[in-house]
Amino acid sequence: VCHAGRCFCRHGFTGDACSEPRPCPQQCSARGVCHGGKCFCDAGWSGPSCELSSRCAADCSRHGECVGGLCQCAAGWEGPKCSLGGDCSGNCTAPQGECVDGECLCVDGYGGNDCSQELECPSACSGAGRCVKGVCECNAGRFGADCAGVGEDWAVLCPRECGEVAAHGHCDRKLHRCRCVAGRGGLACDISMACPGNCSYHGECFAHNHTCSCAPGFTGHDCSERSACPDNCEEHGVCADDFNCICHPGFGGDACDLQLLCMGDCSGHGRCDDGICRCDEGFGGDDCALFMQPGRPPRKPEGLYFVRERFALQPQPM
């Protein structure tokens, strides 16, 4: 409208002749459309210049309504994402657990619907270990989920019996590992190898060219020759001239790093000699737990003596 020689522009226009569209603040922050000097914001944004996010974190976990970028939680739910509450009980809080989508997720060592139950170890670790958050940490010479196993855990040292059923290898109880036949490798002899001698178990086989990359301390086309003693060999042994470790009593393995333990510590009735019980007199068995009944003394032979008679020698009882 022109009044007194001056233009008074309608809404949405500006300039001396009202010929220019009125700009929107901050050009709607590139999150909307400007029309008549007003921002029409894209979905998820609001404010005069579309500068405010109206989206809510995690869509309010589907347990509330997003209003102006803030969650208004449904009854029974709370938190900035409406993720706390629901069917979880009051005990489902740190450090025992956290309520997520109505389900109480417990940390290690706790269980139950509300994570208030401290988990017990199976069989109280058989009195041969320490219970830590529901898991047994077994004493030396014991193994298993409940520490009921005595001696060496051969199921771990020689997994799946080293493929013995399929003739892929056997368990070497002196070295505490699997010894695989030619052409097989791996901890359980379950890998098909293509290198000479399986690289003597002291290297990595490159199947594409059938060559060995030897581990430190070994050399040769099949890694069978030692060039140094294993690390820490001299902690429980002596490095010999041929670079093999000569272990101190009670230790074994390539690097003398395996303590040779006896079953049940020989039950207190014997001496442990490189993993084998030498039982005291009167005891026997692998762990010297068997009481040996004393044997009866051998029967005394009947003594005979001879008397000289006139015509013949005739034995007489004593």
Q: Which long-range contacts (CB under 8 A, 24 or more apart) does 295-304 make?
A: none
Residues 6+ apart with CB under 8 A from 199: 185, 193, 205, 212, 213, 214, 222, 223
The model's pLDDT over 282-308, given as tens digits with 9 standing for 90+, comes to 898 888 988 887 766 656 655 555 455
Count other C-beta atoms under 10 Å from residue 181's C-beta: 16
The model's pLDDT over 81-94, given as tens digits with 9 standing for 90+, comes to 777 765 565 557 66
pLDDT band of 29, cuts 50, 70, 90: confident
Instruction: Output b/e per residue, 84-116; b: 16+ Cβ within 10 A.
Output: bbbebeeebeeebbbbeeeebebeebbbbebbb
| pLDDT average, residue stretch 13-26 | 76
Residue 311 has pLDDT above 60, yes or no: no
* Torsion sign (Cα): 199, 274, 284, 125: negative
Torsion angle of the four alpha carbons 166, 172, 177, 181, in this order, in degrees rounded to the nearest 10: -40
The model's pLDDT over 150-205, given as tens digits with 9 standing for 90+, comes to 877 777 778 888 877 778 888 887 777 888 887 777 788 877 767 777 788 888 88
Report pLDDT for 39. 86
| pLDDT average, residue stretch 217-231 | 84
pLDDT band of 227, cuts 50, 70, 90: confident
| pLDDT average, residue stretch 105-127 | 82
Within 13 Å of residue 254, how many CA atoms lie on the same side as its CB?
Answer: 13
Query: What is the biggest distance separating any 2 CA atoms in the chain, rounded to whole angstroms?
Result: 183
Report pLDDT for 295. 61
| Residue 286 DSSP symbol | T
Cα 172 versus chain centre, distance:
24
Please give the Cα distance from 96 to 79 (Å, whole number): 18
Report pLDDT for 315. 55
Percent pLDDT > 70 in the chain is: 83
Full set of structural domains in the chain with CATH: 2-54 (2.10.25), 87-118 (2.10.25), 154-226 (2.10.25.10), 233-291 (2.10.25)
The model's pLDDT over 49-78, given as tens digits with 9 standing for 90+, comes to 888 776 777 778 777 887 767 788 877 677
The model's pLDDT over 233-267, given as tens digits with 9 standing for 90+, comes to 778 888 888 788 888 887 888 788 887 778 777 88
Report pLDDT for 102. 67
Report pLDDT for 1. 60
Report pLDDT for 89. 53
**Phi/psi at 62 (5° precision):** 60, 20
